[in-house]
Amino acid sequence: MSDTDLSVPFRQRAGSALGDKHLQEALTIATTKFIGLRREAFGEFPEGERLRDMAREIKEATLQHLDRYVDQLIDSVERLGGHVHYATTPEEARRVVLDIAARTGARLAVKSKSMASEEIHLNEALEAAGVIPIETDLGEYIIQLAHERPSHIIAPAIHKTKGQVADLFAKELGRQVAADPEELTRIARVELRQKFLDADLGITGANFAVADSGTVVLVTNEGNGRMVTSLPRVHVAVMGVEKVVPSMTDLMVFLQILAKSATGQKLSVYTTLVRGPRRAGELEGPDEFHLVLLDNGRIRQIAGPLREALYCLRCGACLNVCPVYRQIGGHAYGYTYPGPIGILLTAMLEGPGSVKDLAHASSLCGACADACPVRIDIPRMLVELRREVDEARIASWTERLAYRLMETILASPTLYRWSKPLARLLQRPFARDGRIRSVPLAFGEWTRTRDLPAVARQTFQERWPELQNPTATPGSSTATGEPCDRSRLAPESGHPRPKPDSRHPLQ
Amino acid sequence: MTTRAEFLSRIRTEVGKTSGLFPAGTAQRPSDPRAVTETIKRELAERWPHALERFQLEFERVAGVFHRAASLVAVPQVVAGIARERAVRRLVAWHARELGGDLLDSLAARGLEPFAMPPGDLDSAAERAELRRRVADAELGLTGVDLAIAETGTLVLRSGAGRPRSTSLLPACHIAVFDRTALIESLGQAGVFLELWNRGAHEDGVGAVTSFITGPSRTADIELTLTRGVHGPKEVHAIFVDQVIRG
Ligand code: SF4
């Protein structure tokens, strides 16, 4: 599978997405539809707001004692006859899965949608080891055939048209099919049904894992999660360590809001609760069950600045409402997890250096925090990330220089007073109608996509004496541009930010 | 390779750094889930017609097809009707013990080719493979139901001896039979049953999987066009039986 080319700068990746007419159209249709469905679902569900608060609390409380709950989960799974593995890094996680595949002589693996396995790039590793991995979620199957990566957490192939899918099936499966979703789905059903029946290994993620009963919970609409956990002789679930919830009662709180946030369904079609391998008396189910607990940068965030990102349910709601995601789509972000939460998760997994550009791919409008079922304050963490990137001197020198200058000037009343006439002088060649449309040298990057308001002929501070004397004629300058029409970019953006409903003691 | 001890100790160190900073609690679990489930059932013994109405409404909203039969004996007639409309005959069913009655003869008399699942596991892998072929070939799958959740139109099925997972998964048409003893009102109530089922030692014959099924399998992965039956059944039917099955 080909990665988005990270050697191409983010600006350029975003630029080419913006130039892709078809992508723009697909993104608008999909995200607008998801927003409507979500709003409708919560509109019919008055308890929703209270449950969102509860869900957030449960995540917080679970992280508080994560050691205890993980310990309990391990005990429960082992009591059921399952095996638990621990992976600090993606390499380690891949090794664990490859060892299981080798030991059990697996040749064919069927996978249900799993972001965690995308994150560790499992497919490439399996292929290299001679095990054929088949993605069975229809969207994932399509992008696997196309050698691409998912562009949305819950709708991986929204960037593809039915015509493109039909061409792809013709090329890869050797079948001429009409460009009709119904027909294409039928073909995929037939193709994949045989794979389910033939596969040796079933690989899944986990939406949740319930500590006290060792239950791995999979939420799907297609039924592939059930197939993958019932038909192959070995089941491996790869899961981020933060997915643990204490009890079934807690689980039900999340189930009540997850599907509503993702697709507007009251519940996804299949919620599958798996407790270990096939039990005595059962005809079907795997002989072996393995749970791989993945760290990959998560554990150090329990007490880190990105802690809240560990609450994420991967519902995709924040992507749909994000004015940046709506314009550039998932691929331009360049990593496994796109969208606003994706920036934070990328920083968590790959380190802050990886998001020095992405940290700015947000208008900080707060729509994501509004939509998030567990009310993750994504904008707050993005701002902190920007600061971290700046302090770690990862940010570009122009950006750092600009901020240093601002800091010095704003800290000194004398400098500040003198800065204004100086700025007015310097801006003269560039300012037109109260705006600066481009600035010279490396600073030009900043004005490439936006205007800078010019320093006013008379600033507020300079007007202050005359304002105190109301009879004098007021000065005539306001130097701000007109507000941008946010509703065009994203119908959900521009709402007042929700009050943070809990303190953030880690700040 | 990271060991359990290393892994847990790393988590413990991080957790220690935030100790006491986040005053939050988990959901309040029922201390005696059995008592709570019994109360739920007692209350529903009177309220069930209302819950059934809601179930039907929500089940139909998720494209389920609702039927009603006076008693278990009347079920084969409904099933035969479904089969006739689709011009199919091959049916696999949970074992009679799990369905609450033996319907095979009656189904066969109506022109179906029914096949019941064995009461437990089979002796050899070859027999299991043969059985799987049969299930994969079947057009109809007939099962019971452990819980029917009115709030969401959801059928909850536990796997186990005589009630394999594939009966409700591989055939293109799933038909589930239930009575008012399975009806509950909400997901919250379902949580109490899950607490009860997953507590303590395993009961004999209980399988590893609990499936919540809310309508037929669906996808919208191609241009957001809603399509049914991508991997699981294209159709889900629920037959409500008025006379309690195990009465
Ligand atoms: S951050 Fe919130 S809205 Fe975004 S995917 Fe995660 S849970 Fe959903």
Closest CA to ligand 1's atom 6:
A312
Question: The domain that contains A267 carries what CATH number?
Answer: 3.40.50.10420
At A464 the pLDDT is: 85
At A478 the pLDDT is: 41
CA angle, residues A260, A215, B59, in degrees to nearest 5: 40
The answer to whether residue A37 sits within a structural domain is yes
Say if residue B224's pLDDT is above 80.
Answer: yes
C-alpha A69/C-alpha A60 separation (Å) is 13
C-alpha A361/C-alpha B40 separation (Å) is 50
Domain match, A346 and A364 both: yes
Domain match, A443 and A471 both: no
B161 closest CB neighbour out of A273, A281, A295: A281
Domain match, A349 and A446 both: no
Domain match, A46 and A190 both: no
Residue A312 Cβ inside 6 Å of ligand 1? The answer reads yes
Domain match, A47 and A76 both: no
Q: Give every CB contact of residue B9 below 8 A, 6+ residues apart in sequence.
A: none
Q: Give every CB contact of residue A117 below 8 A, 6+ residues apart in sequence.
A: A111, A123, A203, A205, A238
Q: Which two tokens stand for residue A331?
A: 């691929």
Amino acid at B139: E
Q: Which two tokens stand for residue A60?
A: 């917080």
Measured between beta carbons, which residues in chain B are less than 8 angstroms from residue A241? 11
- Cα A491 to middle of ligand 1, angstroms: 18
Say if residue B48's pLDDT is above 70.
Answer: yes
Shortest Cα distance, chain B CAs vs residue A111, angstroms: 13
CB contact under 8 A, A221 and B195: no
What does the pLDDT average to over B75-94?
98
CB contact under 8 A, A92 and B191: no
Last-in-domain residue among A253, A270, A296: A296
- The pLDDT mean for chain B works out to 95
Domain match, A103 and A215 both: yes
The answer to whether residue A449 sits within a structural domain is yes
Domain match, A241 and A120 both: yes
Ligand 1 binding pocket mutation candidate from A318, A322, A326, A368 (most atoms within 8 A of CB)? A318
B7 closest CB neighbour out of A86, A278, A283: A86
The answer to whether residue A505 sits within a structural domain is no
ipTM: 0.96
Q: Which of B17, B139, B230, B234 to mutate to test the interface with A (most CBs of A within 10 A)?
A: B230
Domain match, A115 and A149 both: yes
Closest CA to ligand 1's atom 8:
A315
The answer to whether residue A304 sits within a structural domain is no
Return the ligand 1 atom nearest residue A339 CA: 4
> Domain count of chain A?
4
Greatest Cα pair distance in chain A: 94
The answer to whether residue A213 sits within a structural domain is yes
The answer to whether residue A8 sits within a structural domain is no
Last-in-domain residue among A265, A296, A327: A296
C-alpha A204/C-alpha A181 separation (Å) is 25
Shortest Cα distance, chain A CAs vs residue B97, angstroms: 14
φ and ψ of B100, to 5 deg: 95, 10
- Cα B145 to middle of ligand 1, angstroms: 33
Q: Does A60 touch chain B (CB under 8 A)?
A: yes
CB contact under 8 A, B166 and A284: yes
Q: Which domains does chain B have, with CATH numbers?
A: 32-241 (3.40.50.10420)
A269, closest residue in chain B (CA to CA): B214
H or E stretch covering A93? helix A90-103
At B230 the pLDDT is: 92
Say if residue B179's pLDDT is above 70.
Answer: yes
Domain match, A76 and A54 both: no
- Cα A172 to middle of ligand 1, angstroms: 34
Domain match, A80 and A228 both: yes
A189 closest CB neighbour out of B121, B207, B231: B231
**Are the beta carbons of A272 and A226 closer than 8 angstroms?**
yes
Instruction: Identify the CA nearest to A318 among candidates A33, A28, A37, A31.
Output: A31
* Strands A288-294 vs A270-274: parallel, antiparallel or unpaired: unpaired
Domain match, A158 and A47 both: no
What does the pLDDT average to over B42-68?
97
Residue A170: which domain range? 65-296
Say what the pTM is. Answer: 0.89
Instruction: Kindly report, residue by residue over A48-100, the tens digit of the pLDDT.
Output: 999 999 999 999 999 999 999 999 999 999 999 999 999 999 999 999 999 99
B165 closest CB neighbour out of A226, A250, A271: A226
Helices B4-17, A66-79: axis angle to 10 degrees equals: 150
Domain match, A419 and A364 both: no
What does the pLDDT average to over B191-214?
89
C-alpha A344/C-alpha A289 separation (Å) is 31
Say if residue B103's pLDDT is above 90.
Answer: yes
The answer to whether residue A203 sits within a structural domain is yes
- Buried residues in A412-448 as b, exposed as e (16+ CB within 10 A): eeeeeeebbeeebeeeeeebeebbbeebeeeeeeebe
CB contact under 8 A, B221 and A156: yes
pLDDT per residue of chain A (507 residues) written in tens, 0 to 9: 334 677 888 988 999 899 998 889 889 999 999 999 999 999 999 999 999 999 999 999 999 999 999 999 999 999 999 999 999 999 999 999 999 999 999 999 999 989 999 999 999 999 999 999 999 999 999 999 999 988 888 889 989 999 999 999 999 999 888 999 999 999 999 999 999 999 999 999 999 999 999 999 999 999 999 999 999 999 999 999 999 999 999 999 999 999 999 999 999 999 999 999 999 999 999 999 999 999 999 999 999 999 999 999 999 999 999 999 999 999 999 999 999 999 999 999 999 889 988 999 999 999 999 999 999 999 999 999 998 887 877 767 887 788 888 889 999 988 888 888 888 888 888 888 888 888 777 677 777 777 888 888 888 888 888 888 766 554 444 444 344 444 444 455 544 444 444 445 554
The answer to whether residue A306 sits within a structural domain is no
